Chains A and B, each alone.
Chain A
Amino acid sequence: MTRRLGPALYAVPGIAFLAVFFLYPVLRLLALSLQAEGTGEFTLGHYQHALGTEVYLRVLGITFTIAAETTLGALLLGYPLAHWLARLPEARRGWLVMLVMIPFWTSYLVKTFAWMITLDQNGVMNRMLLATGAVDTPLEVLHGRIGVMIGMVHAMLPLAVLTMLPVMVAVDRQLPRAAGTLGAPPGQVFWRVQFHLSLPGLAAAGLLVFITSLGFFITPALLGGPRDTMLAQLVISQVQEMMNWGLAGALAVMMLAAALVTCWVYDRLFGLSTVSGQASAKPRRGQAALRTAGLSILSAVAAAHVALGSAMARLVGRRVLGWLLPAYAALVLLFLGAPTLVVVPMGFTDSSFLGFPPPGYSLRWFEVYFGSPLWLGATLRSFIVAFGTACLATLLGGLAALALARSQSRWQGAIFALFLAPMIVPRIVVALALFYLFAQLGLVATEAGLVLGHAVLALPFTFVTMAAVLKGYDWRLDQAAATLGATRFRILTQVTVPLLKGGLVAAFLFAFITSFDDLTVALFVSGGVTTTLPKQMWDDMILQLNPTLAAVSVVVFVLVTALLVTAERLRKPKG
């Protein structure tokens, strides 16, 4: 009995942790939304209020519109880039993928700050447009829907690309060749083979982008106007300004429900395992009609593509057509990287204003940053919290991954879903739920509270990283060591851990970055003097943009990039 359960027991600490700090608070929030203020009686009043008030309904509509448009934009920009990356030789792909990884892990605050100074009336974009004579008067993109869309698509694009890429890479490279020998011209090969096989990845990317967008508040708050208010902003103001927990809970639950419904639809169509990067080409049975319809749409698109392709080839030549995809991919990469390129010189400006290009260069704003007890305190706190989070999340996630790799329990699917759940539930919901719990436990405005909250957010990342590493681990090496006379302890310390070291460090660093970048949980849980770096940046950005923010952004960007490059290097097996 124990022998059979043995490995599965490793998952217990993680499950217990998630039960207390994730499942329970979220369910509590759900209950809260169904209870009358004060009396605690069951009521649907909060939902009636939320759905009966015109303002709330409009925000709900805006939220879904922005999320859907962001998803569309991220997929349209991201798919060709991912397709191009997937077909590159592995060595070249590696460092180009880093150009997507870096913006992925770059703090949303830094990215949004970059767009604020780029899209400003006197920002880089308008200066360039005016200089080239493309426009006569500066465009007002900031504080409008276009600004929000640019910022959101830019923020979500790396997530979309990194979700699609593994599915595309997993497609057997022989298949397009086989299609070619069977008489399929390139257009047919793409739609009928490559595109069709990448559909699970495309859908997974759409799912993750949509869900993440639903709970977003940083970009719309800073780049949008009052007409671009999203649900998460409403939730925050309900709690922070009105202390209306019932209504905030109802709004959060509606957001959660939308996310779960999206997941459910996705699971019906493709199976959730794709989200974790495991390609599954297995079409489900009983969807014959849907499949036939899909196939005929694909064949029509393919035929149109081939016709258009041959017409274009006659017009501009095959050589030019061949450059279309790389050029598009390069433009998308530029769009991803450009904002950060703008921030860096801004950090070194000698002016008190954020004009571009800076009139002169100095270290003045770095001196302000390093001379400010407030900034340094926040930075130090972020480091401590991130370190604690990384330790906790790596331990819990690593053990759970070990349990999953070593046991054949029929609970595997459930464990897998549970550990990925914090990624699917919108962050704002988690943050809100934790705030309520921590308020009762007296953990608000403590480092411990931040560590616990961030560990919930970081667990999916450490779990997936460790699961991937353990999947590739050859357990016969342990058996070999045992037959060669090693004790259990020595096997662990001299064989298993050294071989898994790369993955462990990578998981640790991913958790570290997750915590170091988090604003959502910090917004609620850190209070008063215990501010974290992102929280301090947020407060400054809401109040007034200043060059210190640029200097801080440079520090954060450099730090996170260094951590990320290290993590990526360690994650890849040597040789």
Chain B
Amino acid sequence: MERQPRRRGRTLQRLGAPLSSGAGVKLRIDGIAKRYGPVVALEPLSLEVRSGELLTILGPSGSGKTTLLQVICGLVEPDAGRLFIDGHDRTVMPVHQREIGLVFQNYALFPHLTVAENVGFPLKMRGRPAGEIRDRVATALTMVQLGHLGGRFPRELSGGQQQRVALARCFVYQPAIILMDEPLGALDRQLREHMQIEIKRLHRETGATIIYVTHDQEEALALSDRICLMNHARIEQVGTPQEIYEHPRTAFTAGFIGTSTLLRGQVEGDALATPHGRFALPPGSTATGAAALVIRPEHLRLGPGPNAIRGVVAETVYAGAETRLLFDLADGTGAALRLPTGTTPPEIGTEVEAHWTTETAVLVPL
């Protein structure tokens, strides 16, 4: 999954500022594979994580993302492949020497230690002097806005506060890489969005390299510098949120990130032959044989055009800033388009026609 230099340049530009040691590779995974008996948890896969970036590992449950995370932090030993941190082979190093921070799904705060003792734990393990521990714990707690709660025990805190303690405990010892395993999974939606902003801020302020595991595509789009999309124990696509959304390379990517209309057919010359008609291929398409056109809802407009499909309105969903119109094509294929606010949506059951411009669609192989 090597990235082209062109894309790399673009990522950094989008970030606004180069972080820490420029575009140096922090973590390199080389042919890592894992199986549990007959179950393949990870097909051999390779991935590079750059210094100071926030990379999301996104995928449905069972896609292998948690196994990959456990291999990286040393809780699970891979069957094959190597793992390099800052260029040093770390494949077999025991977990406590790896200098990797892990933020657990359920926080894993020590219930018998106070908040300050929890945050100070990694520093104690590193034999730091008491004075330094006190100062750094105070700084870390202030950073997550919990400076006043150091003497409390974890069970006396709310879910969001516990999450902040877990973050502080991880950031305080400045590990080479911070892994986060669905850290916001237990929080309600509003708090989750708030904590996403918090994590982005911490990332920006500390310049830490973060690998963030989630199954929530919205969260991945909102947080990441790059997304590594996984499915069936392999990497489906790696790229910036924009690349993944606008240029999905597989039907799975197109379906998993955002909603889209998928028109399946056969490539015949410069067009795709589908049950709904022949449509021009977008420029730069390389797929041959069985393929599908992916059209995002914002690119589909009501009304006739050169590339148009017809269907019956199945549902209209009002979502504040927009109204989503779901309609079914003749063979049952579902299609979706976005109506700007203020437009009166057509009645359910009426027939509609929608079109798109050739360049806005993406052709993916099937």
Q: Measuring CB to CB, which residues of chain A are less than 8 angstroms from any residue of chain B?
A: 172, 174-175, 177-186, 188-189, 192-193, 196-197, 281-283, 299
Contact = CB atoms under 8 A, between A and B. Distances in A.
A180 B96 contact: yes
Contacts of B78: none
Contacts of A188: 125
A178 B108 contact: yes
Contact of B125 (A172, A182, A283): A182
Give the 9 A-B residue pairs with the shortest CB-CB distance, closest first: A178-B108, A183-B125, A182-B122, A281-B111, A174-B108, A181-B102, A180-B95, A184-B125, A180-B96
Contact of B112 (A183, A186, A189, A283): A283
Interface of B: 73-75, 94-102, 104, 106, 108, 110-112, 121-122, 124-126, 153, 155, 169, 173
For B74, B98, B122, B173, the residue with the greatest tally of chain A CB atoms inside 10 Å of its CB is B122
A185 B75 contact: no
Contact of B108 (A175, A196, A283): A175
Main secondary structure of the interface of A (DSSP, over half): helix
Given A196-B112, A197-B111, A197-B112, A185 B106 contact: no
Given A174-B106, A282-B155, A181 B101 contact: yes
Nearest to A295: B117
23 contacts: A172-B108, A174-B108, A177-B75, A177-B108, A179-B96, A179-B125, A180-B94, A181-B73, A181-B75, A181-B95, A181-B96, A181-B98, A182-B96, A182-B101, A183-B99, A184-B96, A184-B121, A184-B125, A188-B125, A189-B96, A192-B121, A283-B153, A299-B124
Contact of B173 (A179, A182, A197): A182
A179 B121 contact: yes
B104 A281 contact: no
Contacts of A178: 102, 104, 108, 110
Contacts of B125: 179, 182-185, 188
A183 B104 contact: no
Contact of A183 (B96, B106, B155): B96
Contacts of B122: 182-183
Nearest to B170: A182
For A174, A182, A299, the residue with the greatest tally of chain B CB atoms inside 10 Å of its CB is A182
B129 to A, nearest CB: 14
A136 B197 CA distance: 79
A185 B96 CA distance: 6
Contacts, number: 71
B106 to A, nearest CB: 6
Contact of A174 (B98, B101, B104): B104
A197 B124 CA distance: 18
A545 B36 CA distance: 57
Contacts of A282: 111, 153, 155
Contacts of B153: 282-283
Nearest to B169: A182
Contacts of A189: 96
Contacts of B74: 181
Contacts of A299: 124
Nearest to A188: B125
Contacts of B112: 196-197, 281, 283
A497 B187 CA distance: 37
A177 B70 CA distance: 11
A355 B85 CA distance: 68
Contacts of A197: 111-112
A283 B106 CA distance: 21
A197 B112 CA distance: 7
A188 B155 CA distance: 23
A193 B75 CA distance: 18
A453 to B, nearest CB: 42
A183 B173 contact: yes
B95 A175 contact: no
B15 to A, nearest CB: 27
A185 B155 CA distance: 26
Given A282-B153, A282-B155, A181 B100 contact: yes
A179 B104 CA distance: 11
For B100, B125, B155, the residue with the greatest tally of chain A CB atoms inside 10 Å of its CB is B125
Nearest to B124: A299
A193 B111 CA distance: 9
B126 A183 contact: yes
Nearest to A288: B151
B36 to A, nearest CB: 14
Nearest to A318: B94
Contacts of A193: 110
A300 to B, nearest CB: 13
A180 B108 CA distance: 12
A236 to B, nearest CB: 44
A296 to B, nearest CB: 11
A282 B114 CA distance: 11
A413 B68 CA distance: 48
A175 B109 CA distance: 7
A183 B121 CA distance: 9
Nearest to B151: A288
For B102, B106, B155, the residue with the greatest tally of chain A CB atoms inside 10 Å of its CB is B102
A177 B73 CA distance: 10
A185 B93 CA distance: 12
A111 B12 CA distance: 75
A186 B74 CA distance: 14
A177 B102 CA distance: 10
A407 B99 CA distance: 51
A299 B124 CA distance: 10
Nearest to B70: A177
A241 B158 CA distance: 65
B224 to A, nearest CB: 22
B116 to A, nearest CB: 12
Contacts of B121: 179, 182, 184, 192
Nearest to B100: A181
A182 B102 CA distance: 8
A132 to B, nearest CB: 41
